[in-house]
Amino acid sequence: MKIILASGSPRRRELLAMAGFSFDVIPADVDETADPALSPGQLVAHLAEKKALHIRDMNQGQDAVVIGADTVVAIDGLILGKPKDEADAFDMLSRLQGRPHTVFTGVTAASCKTDKIQTFVESTKVFMRALADDEIRAYMATGEPFDKAGAYGIQEKGAVLIARVEGDYFTVVGLPLCRLNLTLREFF
């Protein structure tokens, strides 16, 4: 069975490869505008499914499973996606520093040959250490915050900002590998 990753995320590609999966990459170009009525878990499930189904529909009839995923950071009832600009990144990191927050990753696996679809959501609590404004600015100067939900990357330079994690580390990176593997084995 062929696997198609419906994501342009280099982190998701690295994780799938690291776990030993063979796959093709076809990034899903879909509208990711957040519906404010959805909870963080509902939002990532909706977007993961939207991405997977978009690519599945382009590959109907193939013996393949499409994997779509989406990740957001949530704190104080707010959903933090990727920052729009430097001010937004600074605001996000200022809000997160010294406090726990939750990272949600939704994943959809959809068969191109049948109507089989499985969606799940994983959440992980992350504790960012207290940061001074100059530390936030120095981290922002690396350029790393600008393509990541919550404006940080736990698997890169942002690792030094994180005091601890409660839950699946790979959920924070953007693809919960254990749950994905179990889902593929059980349903596909």
pLDDT tens-digit map of 23-69: 999 999 999 887 889 999 999 999 999 999 999 999 999 999 999 99
Active site residue 147: no
pLDDT tens-digit map of 140-176: 999 999 989 999 999 999 999 999 999 999 999 999 9
Which residues, 6+ apart, have CB-to-CB distance to 169 below 8 Å? 124, 154
pLDDT at 61: 94
Average pLDDT, the chain: 96
Active-site residue, from 24, 35, 57, 70? 70
Structural domains of the chain ordered from first start = 2-187 (3.90.950.10)
